[in-house]
Amino acid sequence: MSNLHELSLKQLRTGLDNKEFSSKELTEHSLARIASHQDLNAFINITPEVALAAAEAADQKIKNKEVKSLTGIPLAIKDLILTKGIKTTCASKFLENFVAPYNATVIEKLLAEDAVIVGKTNLDEFAMGSSNENSAFGPVINPWDKTKVPGGSSGGSAAVIAAGLVRATLGTDTGGSIRQPCSFCSITGIKPTYGRISRYGVTAYASSLDQVGPMAGNIEDLAIMLNALCGKDPLDATSVTLKTPDFTKNLGQDLKGLRVGMPKEYFIDGIQAEVRTAVENAVKQLESLGATVVPVSLPNTEHAVPTYYIIAPAEASSNLGRFDGIRFGNRATGCETLEDLYCESRSQGFGIEVKRRIMMGTYVLSSGYYDAYYLKAQKVRRLIKNDFDRVFAKDCDVIASPVTPTTAFELNSRVSDPIQMYLNDIFTIPVNLAGLPALSVPCGFDQNNLPIGLHLIGKAWDEETLLKTAFAYEQSTEWSKKNCYK
Amino acid sequence: MFIEDYEIVVGLEVHAQLATHSKIFSGASATFGGNPNSHVDSVTMGLPGCLPVPNKTVIESAIKLGLALNCQIRNYNRFARKHYFYPDLPKGYQISQFEEPICEHGHLNITVDEVVRNIGITRIHMEEDAGKNIHDSRTNASLVDLNRAGVPLLEIVSEPDLRSPEEASVYLRGIRQIIRFLGIGDGNMEEGSLRCDANISLRPRGSLKFGTRTEIKNINSFKFVEKAIFYEATRQLKILKEGGVIFQETRLFDSATETTRSMRGKEGAADYRYFPDPDLPPLHIEESWIQDIRSKLPILPHQKKVELVESYGLTDYDASLITSERENLEFYEEVYNACKNAKLACNWMTSELFGLLNKSGKSLKESPVSAKDLGLLIKLIDQDVLSGKMAKDVFEVMFETSKTAALIIQEKGLKQVSDPKEIVSIIQKVISECPDQVRDYLAGKEQVFGFLVGQVMKNSGGKANPKLANEALKSELEKLME
Amino acid sequence: MNLSKEEVLKIIFLARLSTKEENLDQMISDFNNVLSYVDALGKVNVDNIEPLAHVHESYNIYREDVCGNGMTTEEALLNTSDRSGSFIRVPLIIEGES
């Protein structure tokens, strides 16, 4: 079958279980497509041997009718997440040769569902970036337009779905790193509530903001992936003891009684007009599906980006202290003193944006500046969270907004202007600061045929309402069916 | 204590390792020693993606020590990251507590020269230990072993309330004693499970203001606590007397030369960039948890000492000796339970047993005579089965062979003669053999009585019950008077 | 607020990055630009607002004191480039250097 890459996870499940095709065939198809799409630079490491061995084992299980939700289905993993025995580079020169000695909990969970891992996807180094141009292994290309960025930091994980190489991937989202590339690449992705999914084995960027999430071609696939990934992990003290619902269960329910909030601070001047129109149309569509639309206000939104660029670098500067060249990773040669070894190993190993954030984080935590920057940012963070708490308590059940102010931008157009780059995440960052779940679902294209995403933000632990809303929207529009497969 | 016109002011920072099975934030073994880098896991190695999860026993141990040291237990606790780069610190930060230590505002009473002093405990906090660096100047390299990294520590910070090297030493022993009584650590300074840094300053006699202090690190045995403080105080005195200024600095104690020397610091003070660890949710220590731990606290040395003096009738000195170590007390209690004679139990343990242990270079743990067997021996004395003299002989055999007293008595036929008939027949034999002495006694020369008792004991082969022999001899002689 | 070159160099050393970077001046200027940008927070009124360090109110997450999930020495040192037996080797540490 030559159209295997067009099937959803659910269709793949049926096809595999009915022996219409084998996992081996499916995996080979995926690997062949990966090989013919090398120009996207979406993978850092492809693992055909591991994948084919897993596929054969999966076929055996299918034969024995021991089938789990992902048995035999090829997936790709953002290369920030540790995979035992496989290189995990975080797109950093520092970890160019780092072989993970253990599996992240999310990997264990996917393997427990018999998933087939075909490789590790490209990203912005240590997940720091919004364009995937900060990778030590080169930028990822947007499959919709090869002159454009795919978004970041989970750019590889988005591009491989958009190009039809695999049907689902793992990403991570600290300030929009799942949602923004999904929006730029016309796929779906969810950042779950902070604490929903274990962070164990996920290289930490900003620990209080990081969250793993699935990316997929449609909302139902996203729900299937989410089912496999959620749950309390005794190895992650910030993961929460909460029953994982069946996220596919409420899909297909109508939207009667649903209140959709439209925050005025998210529909401001400066947004690309087509983006604004597409999102407003999407909200109208939700209304036509039975939802009520209510204007809401999140007055502290404007402070979110500066708050994020204090808190995230502070935590990053701390988390990246372990990359010292001593136990693993790049070790500079010819250093006579310990200080030289530290400085040279790190300086050689880290890219410019990583250095920038380490410097900023070091500064805002340093003696005499902690109160003015870090503590202040934590207080503003509470104001931002309070905004959401207030509107969710009385006004609405979900919030709708654009994912990004613009569609995918030109490669190399913003790399020299960090602040311009940071502002890209203006609508996604507040969600991480408040620890809430949010997703991106395709809602249109601009005049250059570049995708636009609808951003839906939910109450803490209420991914079900988000998925239900997005599913109803997706089913009633054609946007998700459009693809750029070659 | 004053040296010349200056008073010594000392505060101690004590690091006590906790004797847990696993590390403070992960399941790697916390056991001492092991091959280099064998007690490790992803968390210990500081690998990417690893996350800390606190060990409940560490929290409970901290609460226990806090209660034993009269501290307030903080309800809202957080862990903080303390940043610095060093090869024995795998993550580039140490997880510790900063603004919210688990215990605060405590005190420990110490007695030096019969004066009781109340030493303030500023705080106790939980943190992880670092690994070990071994320096090898021959190969121009240092070698890193991370087995110790992540072993739980409690840091106990005193107020600058100590006024002499001796007080510092007594305080440190007091902390160690309590840690051992609580069973939360072994307080072994030689293995590094108890470590101590001292903050030392001098101030003119009568002054209320503290002088500039230096911090002395690397005091790694009890022997050196007093020496290090004394040396440093003397060094500061010399500088002050010459009109010099003390620099606030960290100095290293060198046990070989018994001196301190300045650590070559980098420019400026360290900047640890503390912030609350986002990987670790806060701890809410509720009153019910504290009460539960309080109700299960073992009796503490100072409480036990009072009990030994007031209820058991021991002297203050003996009670201190018995309660100086948890093993001593446990041993004593077992001896007591077997014999129910508090004073004899104490005497036999502290003079006879400790004497032989000392002579043979053994510790109480290695005693060939178990506490129970010692108690049973004492019981035999109490029941007049053995005389004190015989018991000592039997005890020596026990110490050599680890046999029980009963077995030795049986083997050697050593049983004391307490049968009045048998004793009277020996007495009658002595009276008939010593007519002169008997006559002298009857004539009023009472000092002869001792000689006659001796003859009775001799004739019994030393086995006659001395008390019974005494009484029977007296009554037989009285019969002759009539 | 703009930091002087010397002040930024101190930060660079504190972070153990190299002060011998080729594009040091660009790094310093970018740093100052971002710092000026986040300085905008200075004007936000946060009177009586508690800092938010942990986004969800969860407490008392701990584990029982049991061993598990360990690693062998070889697994632990899988990526260590400079070893001496089971030790990790580093340049000779000068006492007090940190």
The predicted pLDDT at position B267 comes to: 43
Give the mean model confidence (pLDDT) for residues A433-458. Answer: 98
pLDDT at C97 over 50: no
pLDDT at A1 over 90: no
In the sheet with B132-136, reading across from the earlier edge strand, the strands are B132-136, B141-145, C87-91, C83-84
Residue type, A46: I
**Chain C contact set for A379 (CB, 8 A):** 46, 49-52
Catalytic residue list contains A78: yes
Q: Which residue from A67, A43, A46 is spatially nearest to A57, judged by alpha carbons? A: A67
- C-alpha angle A417-A422-A424 in degrees, rounded to nearest 5: 110
- pLDDT tens by residue, chain B, 482 residues: 777 889 999 999 999 999 999 999 999 999 998 999 999 999 999 999 999 999 999 999 999 999 999 999 999 999 999 999 999 999 999 999 999 999 999 999 999 988 999 999 999 999 999 999 998 888 889 999 999 999 999 999 999 999 999 999 999 999 999 999 999 999 999 889 999 999 999 999 889 999 999 999 888 888 899 999 999 999 999 999 999 999 888 898 988 888 888 876 544 568 999 999 999 999 999 999 999 999 999 989 989 999 999 989 999 899 989 998 888 999 999 999 999 999 999 999 999 999 999 999 999 999 999 999 999 999 888 877 777 888 888 899 999 999 988 888 878 777 777 788 888 888 988 888 988 888 888 888 888 888 888 888 888 877 788 888 888 888 888 888 77
Cross-chain CB nearest to A102 (options B42, B52, B87): B42
| β-bridge mates for residue B154, sequence order | B16, B126
Per-residue confidence band for C95, with pLDDT thresholds at 50, 70 and 90 = low
Cross-chain CB nearest to C84 (options B27, B143, B265): B143
Chain-chain contact of A367 with B271 (C-beta, under 8 angstroms) = yes
- Give this complex's ipTM: 0.96
Q: 3-state DSSP call for residue C12?
A: helix
Query: Helix, strand, coil % (nearest 5) of chain A?
Result: 40, 15, 45
State the nearest Cα–Cα gap between B79 and chain C, in angstroms: 11
Q: Which residue from A138, A108, A134 is spatially nearest to A43, judged by alpha carbons? A: A138
Nearest CA in chain A to B92: A321
**Chain A contact set for B280 (CB, 8 A):** 237
Give the mean model confidence (pLDDT) for residues A178-188. Answer: 98
CA–CA separation, B97 and B127 (whole Å): 7
A22, A23, A153, A157: which is the annotated catalytic residue? A153
**Chain C contact set for A425 (CB, 8 A):** none
CA–CA separation, B64 and B77 (whole Å): 16
Considering only residues 46 to 65 of chain B, which have any Cβ-Cβ distance to chain C shorter than 8 Å?
Answer: 53-59
State the nearest Cα–Cα gap between C61 and chain A, in angstroms: 6
pLDDT in tens, B139-158: 889 999 999 999 999 999 99
- C-alpha angle B339-B344-B349 in degrees, rounded to nearest 5: 90
- C-alpha angle B196-B199-B204 in degrees, rounded to nearest 5: 145
Percentage of chain A with pLDDT > 70?
A: 100
Indicate the pairing of strand C87-91 with strand B141-145: antiparallel
Q: Which two tokens stand for residue A253?
A: 């329910």
**Chain A contact set for B83 (CB, 8 A):** 318, 321, 365
Chain-chain contact of C90 with B142 (C-beta, under 8 angstroms) = yes
pLDDT in tens, B113-127: 889 999 999 999 999
The predicted pLDDT at position B137 comes to: 81
Catalytic residue list contains A480: no
State the nearest Cα–Cα gap between B22 and chain A, in angstroms: 14
**Chain C contact set for B20 (CB, 8 A):** 65
Best residue in C2, C5, C8, C18 for a mutation probing chain A (most A CBs within 10 Å): C18
- Whole-model pTM? 0.91
Q: SS3 sequence, chain B?
A: CEECCEEEEEEEEEEEECCCCECCCCCCECCCCCCCCCCECHHHHCCCCCCCCCEHHHHHHHHHHHHHCCCEECCEECCEEEECCCCCCCCCEEEECCCCCCEEEEEEEEEECCEEEEEEEEEEEEEECCCEEEEECCCCEEEEECCCCCCEEEEEEECCCECCHHHHHHHHHHHHHHHHHHCCCCCCCCCCCEEEEEEEEEEECCCCCCCCCEEEEEECCHHHHHHHHHHHHHHHHHHHHCCCCCCCCEEEEECCCCEEEECCCCCCCCCCCCEECCCCCCEECCHHHHHHHHHCCCCCHHHHHHHHHHCCCCCHHHHHHHHCCHHHHHHHHHHHHHHCCHHHHHHHHHHHHHHHHHHHCCCHHHCCCCHHHHHHHHHHHHCCCCCHHHHHHHHHHHHHHCCCHHHHHHHHCCCCECCHHHHHHHHHHHHHHCHHHHHHHHCCCCCHHHHHHHHHHHHCCCCECHHHHHHHHHHHHHHHHC
The predicted pLDDT at position B47 comes to: 98
Does an H or E element contain A153, and which?
Answer: none
State the nearest Cα–Cα gap between C22 and chain B, in angstroms: 24
pLDDT at C96 over 80: no
Per-residue confidence band for A6, with pLDDT thresholds at 50, 70 and 90 = very high
CA–CA separation, B457 and B472 (whole Å): 12
Residue C29's Cβ-count burial label (10 Å; 0-12, 13-18, 19+) is middle
Chain-chain contact of C76 with B37 (C-beta, under 8 angstroms) = yes
CA–CA separation, A62 and A70 (whole Å): 11
**Chain A contact set for B81 (CB, 8 A):** 318
**Chain C contact set for A380 (CB, 8 A):** 41, 44, 46, 49
Query: Residue B457: CB partners within 8 Å, gap ≥ 6?
Result: B464, B466, B469
CA–CA separation, B370 and B367 (whole Å): 7
Chain-chain contact of B52 with A374 (C-beta, under 8 angstroms) = no
Q: State how far the alpha carbon of B90 is from the alpha carbons of A102, A326, A467, B131, C98, in Å.
A: 17, 9, 41, 8, 13
Q: CB-hemisphere CA count at 13 Å for B144?
A: 26
Chain-chain contact of A322 with B280 (C-beta, under 8 angstroms) = no
State the nearest Cα–Cα gap between A386 and chain C, in angstroms: 10
CB of A454 closer than 8 Å to CB of A262: no
Residue A133's Cβ-count burial label (10 Å; 0-12, 13-18, 19+) is buried
Catalytic residue list contains A92: no
> Chain A within 8 Å of C71 (Cβ-Cβ)?
yes
Give the mean model confidence (pLDDT) for residues A273-285. Answer: 97
Q: State how far the alpha carbon of B64 is from the alpha carbons of B122, B184, B280, B326, B400, in Å.
A: 16, 8, 22, 16, 41
Q: State how far the alpha carbon of A407 is from the alpha carbons of A93, A132, A191, A275, in Å.
A: 29, 15, 20, 7
The owner of tokens 């310990």 is A338
CA–CA separation, A418 and C32 (whole Å): 11
**Chain A contact set for B128 (CB, 8 A):** none
> Chain B within 8 Å of C62 (Cβ-Cβ)?
yes
Give the mean model confidence (pLDDT) for residues A316-322. Answer: 98
CA–CA separation, B23 and B43 (whole Å): 10
pLDDT at C98 over 70: no
Chain mean pLDDT for chain C? 91
The owner of tokens 């001098």 is B202
Best residue in C30, C71, C83, C93 for a mutation probing chain A (most A CBs within 10 Å): C30
Give the mean model confidence (pLDDT) for residues A85-114. Answer: 98
CA–CA separation, B136 and B89 (whole Å): 19
**Chain B contact set for A326 (CB, 8 A):** 87, 144
CA–CA separation, B62 and C97 (whole Å): 31
DSSP state of A188: E
Chain-chain contact of C76 with B282 (C-beta, under 8 angstroms) = no
> Chain B within 8 Å of C52 (Cβ-Cβ)?
no
> Chain B within 8 Å of C84 (Cβ-Cβ)?
yes
User: Subunits touching B (CB < 8 Å, at least 3 pairs)?
Assistant: A, C
Q: Which two tokens stand for residue B179?
A: 């840690």
Q: 3-state DSSP call for residue A251?
A: coil
- Provide the angle, in degrees to the nearest 10, between the axes of the packed helices A352-365 and C24-38: 50
| Between residues C29 and B420, the one the model is more confident about | C29
The predicted pLDDT at position B470 comes to: 87
Which range, of A153-167, A354-368, B438-452, averages the lowest pLDDT?
B438-452
pLDDT in tens, A230-260: 999 999 999 999 999 999 999 999 999 999 9
The predicted pLDDT at position B268 comes to: 52
Cross-chain CB nearest to C63 (options B41, B53, B142): B53
Chain-chain contact of A327 with C79 (C-beta, under 8 angstroms) = yes
Does an H or E element contain A313, and which?
Answer: helix A304-319
State the nearest Cα–Cα gap between A459 and chain C, in angstroms: 12
> Chain B within 8 Å of C65 (Cβ-Cβ)?
yes
CB of A175 closer than 8 Å to CB of A312: yes
> Chain C within 8 Å of B94 (Cβ-Cβ)?
no
A69, A130, A154, A177: which is the annotated catalytic residue? A177
> Chain A within 8 Å of C21 (Cβ-Cβ)?
yes
